[in-house]
Structure 1
Amino acid sequence: MSLHDLHRPLGDTGLIVSPLGLGTVKLGRDQGVKYPNGFTIPDDAAARALLDQARALGINLIDTAPAYGVSEQRLGPLLRGQREDWVIVSKVGEEFDNGQSRFDFSPAHTRLSVERSLQRLETDRIDLVLVHSDGNDVAILRDSGVYETLAELKREGKLRAFGLSGKT
């Protein structure tokens, strides 16, 4: 089975995506995740095989985030030479350090987070950046300045689209 024939537009972003994406938290973080069973982070060969299999099946969307441990740092080298084959989704707002999540939706942190993700992912643009909500969706969007900052970054060509990964 292949998903190639099922790719479709993602809203009005101009992005064409598979109906399933590949989440990559398990490529970079094995603590503080809510899975019923433990797991081991795969080595680069296994991660590369996973990406190759996903691509062969027609999956073209990769979901990552700074809160996913070293996922972005691993994806950069793993995706070298394949950038145009993937729609990369990352996030801003949540950081995971020393076993704890912390949230910062300020304009300065939003910009820092996107710039850092670009470096880690070894790319000049992120296709879609989502605000990684802590559950206070309305307050984040109304008061933090995160959306205005993402709009600036989009105008600068550093991302193609942005949205919210909400909890309400």
Structure 2
Amino acid sequence: MPEITLSPLPLNPLGDTGMQVSALGLGTVKLGRDKGVKYPGSFTIPDDRQAADLIARARAWGINLIDTAPAYGNSEERLGKLLRGQRDQWLICSKVGEEFAGGQSSFDFSAHHTRMSVERSLRRLHTEVLDMVLVHSNGDDERIVREEEVLDTLRKLKREGLIRAIGMSGKTVAGGLLAAQYSDVVMVTYNLRERGEEAVLDYCCKNNKGVLVKKALASGHIAGEEGGDPVQASMDFVFAHPAVTSAIVGTINPVHLDHNCSCVLRALSRSNPTRT
């Protein structure tokens, strides 16, 4: 693989958390799960050598954010081993609320399950603190925020020093706006085809909340009609919004990773030269 010579990705402040996050984050569902996913094509979960090479490639680009979840198969366990000796180089974002077993998702937002899940993630990832923990919503965002125990429990765990920042990976505008009021960071869907949650980004921009964008490439479904280079068109669109802290992209292909990073750098130079 050719040596990387491009400038590393810039770091952006994650709201008022004090953390500095790379403009692109590495999603890791494909390191641990190949069932029940919504990508356009099948894929083979990389072995440990391939996964380690991918992580090293991401780090060489200046990526310092890794996104995982209990629902991502054995992603957390693998990362615990793969990141051994380099934990201080990474910000780890995990989640609570969703479990995946037997090809099906189930959800539990109780205080007991939330605490159990966080403590389990800490063990799996071989770390004493999780930099970010997000509620993995089932789509009933508002009810989760208003009625479930999960966010209150995450706040307690944050006070105990087990978590640095909390938030929600939501699915609705109303839920995202509500979660942002009680959280440090939100994860939203935002891409050329799905722009409905832009109001959440606007709120976060005004209120200094961190924003992680999921599905920036529509889970790989962005097609050529979006422009000559659909990845570039996508990153141009995503990073044109000043609220975006980082876009999480879950590639396991190092060539795609290189292209994604190059596109982000170009997008940032166009939208705001001071961010590159």
Whether the TM-score (by the shorter chain) exceeds 0.5 is yes
State how far apart, in whole Å, the 1-side matches of 2:17 and 2:100 are.
Answer: 29
Q: Could you tell me which of 76, 79, 89 is aligned with 1:75?
A: 79
Q: Which residue of 1 aligns with 2:118?
A: 114
* Cα deviation digits, residues 113-165 of structure 1 (max 9, x gap): 00000000000000000000000000001111111100010011100000010
8 Å Cα contact 1:118/1:126 also seen in 2: yes
- 1:56-135 aligned at under 5 Å gives the runs 56-135=60-139
Unaligned runs of 5+ residues in structure 1 are none
8 Å Cα contact 1:60/1:85 also seen in 2: yes
State how far apart, in whole Å, the 2-side matches of 1:2 and 1:27 are.
Answer: 27
State how far apart, in whole Å, the 2-side matches of 1:76 and 1:126 are.
Answer: 12
Verify: 1:44 aligned to 2:52, yes or no: no
Q: Which residue of 2 aligns with 1:2?
A: 7
Q: Could you tell me which of 163, 170, 176 is aligned with 1:166?
A: 170
8 Å Cα contact 1:22/1:59 also seen in 2: yes
RMSD: 0.7
Secondary structure of the structure 1 residue equivalent to 2:146: helix
Deviation for aligned residue 1:8: 1.3
Aligned residues: 167
Structure 1 runs (4+) deviating above 4 angstroms are none
AA at the equivalent of 2:41? N
State how far apart, in whole Å, the 2-side matches of 1:2 and 1:54 are.
Answer: 13
Q: Which residue of 2 aligns with 1:23?
A: 27
Q: Could you tell me which of 136, 139, 143 is aligned with 1:139?
A: 143
Deviation for aligned residue 1:2: 3.2
Which stretch shows the higher mean deviation, 6-15 or 24-33? Answer: 6-15
Deviation for aligned residue 1:13: 1.0
Deviation for aligned residue 1:88: 0.2
TM-score by length of 1: 0.98
8 Å Cα contact 1:107/1:149 also seen in 2: yes
Unaligned runs of 5+ residues in structure 2 are 1-5, 173-276
State how far apart, in whole Å, the 2-side matches of 1:45 and 1:122 are.
Answer: 19
State how far apart, in whole Å, the 2-side matches of 1:23 and 1:2 are.
Answer: 21
AA at the equivalent of 1:40? T
8 Å Cα contact 2:154/2:166 also seen in 1: yes
8 Å Cα contact 1:3/1:18 also seen in 2: no
8 Å Cα contact 2:8/2:60 also seen in 1: no
- Identical aligned pairs, as a percentage? 67
Secondary structure of the structure 2 residue equivalent to 1:164: strand
AA at the equivalent of 1:52? A
8 Å Cα contact 1:3/1:19 also seen in 2: no
Verify: 1:54 aligned to 2:22, yes or no: no
Secondary structure of the structure 2 residue equivalent to 1:140: helix
Deviation for aligned residue 1:3: 3.1
